[in-house]
């Protein structure tokens, strides 16, 4: 991991704002969901299934009602594993054979460019004595005082974002 920025030979406190999802926990949640679907009476005899391929989930259901139930199950199992349901980006549902429906959902990783711009604009507009810079799929914030960085954390938590954010690499 990169070191904190040097300012005239003195390290400046910094932190990174990221959005990462633990894929192992997602897989555990999916396995628990599959197990519950096998046990539930309303899913007996149905051809409902969920598949994960490289962060893209495919939900296959017999009808709209079963698909909605699968959404609820998925969000519940992700919440039990401490994964915010906001990481899922649902695509438009498609018709499959007969009444069956299919829907894909991608698991978002990293802060996208629009959200990164929104965060940096909010930080710069807050008049705090910090610098925010976009570095790939994360935002690096540096400042002279630790309190300023904590104020940035509070500011970013107050922003309305549809994506869960984490604050990592807090360095003094």
**How much is the pLDDT for 156?**
87
CA 49, CA 38: separation in Å to the nearest integer? 10
Q: Does the structure show a pLDDT above 90 at 143? A: no
Residue 52 near residue 27, CB atoms below 8 Å: yes
Listed in sequence order, the residues at least 6 apart from 128 whose beta carbon sits closer than 8 Å to its beta carbon are: 143, 148, 151, 152, 155
Share of the chain above pLDDT 70, in %: 94
Instruction: Round the average pLDDT of the chain to a whole number and report it.
Output: 86
CA 105, CA 101: separation in Å to the nearest integer? 14
* pLDDT, tens digit, 9 for 90 and up, residues 19-64: 888 899 999 999 999 999 899 898 888 888 999 998 899 999 988 8
Whether residues 153 and 98 share a domain: the answer is no
* Residue 94 C-alpha from the chain's centroid: 24
Among 125, 127, 35, 30, residue whose Cα is nearest residue 83: 30
Whether residues 35 and 95 share a domain: the answer is yes
Whether residues 89 and 43 share a domain: the answer is yes
Residue 111 near residue 138, CB atoms below 8 Å: yes
Q: Does the structure show a pLDDT above 80 at 104? A: yes
Report the number of distinct structural domains present in the chain: 2
- 71 belongs to a structural domain: yes
Among 113, 133, 112, residue whose Cα is nearest residue 124: 133
Q: Does the structure show a pLDDT above 90 at 15? A: no
Residue 73 near residue 37, CB atoms below 8 Å: yes
- 63 belongs to a structural domain: yes
pTM of the model: 0.77
Whether residues 78 and 126 share a domain: the answer is no
CA 95, CA 64: separation in Å to the nearest integer? 10
| 161: CATH | 3.30.70.860
- 1 belongs to a structural domain: no
Q: Does the structure show a pLDDT above 50 at 1? A: no
Whether residues 43 and 95 share a domain: the answer is yes
């Amino acid at each position: 991991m990169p070191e904190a920025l040097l300012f005239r030979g003195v390290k400046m406190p910094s932190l990174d704002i990221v959005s990462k999802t633990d894929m192992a926990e997602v897989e555990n949640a999916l396995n628990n969901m599959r197990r519950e679907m096998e046990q539930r009476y309303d899913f007996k005899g149905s051809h409902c299934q969920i598949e994960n391929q490289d962060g893209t989930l495919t939900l296959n259901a017999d009808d709209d009602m079963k698909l909605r139930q699968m959404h609820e199950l998925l969000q519940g199992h992700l919440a039990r594993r401490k994964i915010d349901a906001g990481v899922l980006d649902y695509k438009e549902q498609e018709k499959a054979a007969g009444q069956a429906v299919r829907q894909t959902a991608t698991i978002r990783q990293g802060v996208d460019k629009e959200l990164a711009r929104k965060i940096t604009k909010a930080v710069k507009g807050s008049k705090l004595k910090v610098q925010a810079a976009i570095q790939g799929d994360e935002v690096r914030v540096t400042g002279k005082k630790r309190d300023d960085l904590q104020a940035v954390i509070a500011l970013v938590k107050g922003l309305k974002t549809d994506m869960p954010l984490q604050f990592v690499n807090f360095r003094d």
